[in-house]
């Protein structure tokens, strides 16, 4: 990708929301799937699809755990994902300046 | 669209580049097609396709003129397009904050 190329894994609106939300967590924190779903107001299926794509890119870590007998899924941004998001926002900022140079 | 919904006409990466570039022109200015094409490093066909979509949305004005015997095409952002871009960037900024509220 060129310097100004926006990472298509992140640029798609739904995934941009996911990544921005995860990037807003304190570093090291993770968020439970149902809470993320509520914050983003997305269906479970739609959210799962986008999370899988982000996981495949190495941007999001998906951790499964049991709380008592209930399975729980936690999401967080990986260091790679955080760097990709920082690169994305820097490229976006440059692009939005609409330089004619 | 909800407040946080990013205008899909603008969000597509190629059109975002076009709109940001046109928004960077001094108000009232316009840019010749070949110069815009050079700035964006897009093929004429690809640029035309995206300009048509932006024109259909009322965001971009396309003016054709003759310079001597040569036809020339000039592009500019309409007031509607400028407002749409301002709304887009405000929504994007809010989205990037990744609020968990």
DSSP summary character for residue B68 = T
DSSP 3-state of B86: helix
Residue A94 C-alpha, separation from nearest chain B C-alpha, in angstroms: 10
Q: Write down the pLDDT at residue B67.
A: 80
Mean pLDDT over A27-31 rounds to 90
Chain A CB contacts of B16 under 8 Å are: 6, 95-96
Chain A CB contacts of B89 under 8 Å are: 96
Choose the closest CB to B21 out of A6, A17, A98.
A98
Contact between A97 and B25 using a beta-carbon 8 Å cutoff: no
B39 → chain A, closest CA residue: A100
The verdict on domain A8-95 having CATH code 1.10.10.10 is yes
Instruction: State residue B43 phi and psi, 5-degree precision.
Output: -70, 155
Residues 6+ apart with CB under 8 A from A16: A10, B6, B95, B96
Chain A CB contacts of B19 under 8 Å are: 98
Binning pLDDT at 50, 70 and 90, where does residue B99 land?
Answer: low
Q: Kindly report the number of other CB atoms within 10 A of residue B10's CB atom.
A: 22
DSSP summary character for residue B84 = H
Task: Check pLDDT > 70 for residue A101.
Answer: no
ipTM: 0.84
Give the start-to-end residue ranges of the domains of chain B: 8-96
Interface residue A92 vs chain B (CB under 8 A)? yes
Top CATH class of B8-96 equals mainly alpha
B38 → chain A, closest CA residue: A100
Task: Check pLDDT > 70 for residue A15.
Answer: yes
User: Could you tell me which of A81, A63, A98 has the C-alpha nearest to residue A16?
Assistant: A81
Overall pTM > 0.80: yes
Q: Write down the pLDDT at residue A2.
A: 54
């Amino acid at each position: 990708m060129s310097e100004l190329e926006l990472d298509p894994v992140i640029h798609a609106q739904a995934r941009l929301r996911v990544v921005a939300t995860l990037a807003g967590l304190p570093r090291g924190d993770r968020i439970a799937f149902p809470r993320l779903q509520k914050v983003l107001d997305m269906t479970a299926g739609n959210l799962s699809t986008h999370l899988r794509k982000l996981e495949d890119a190495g941007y999001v870590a998906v951790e499964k755990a049991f709380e008592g007998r209930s399975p729980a899924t936690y999401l967080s941004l990986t260091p790679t994902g955080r760097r990709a998001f920082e690169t994305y926002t820097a490229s976006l900022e440059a692009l939005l300046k609409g330089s004619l140079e």
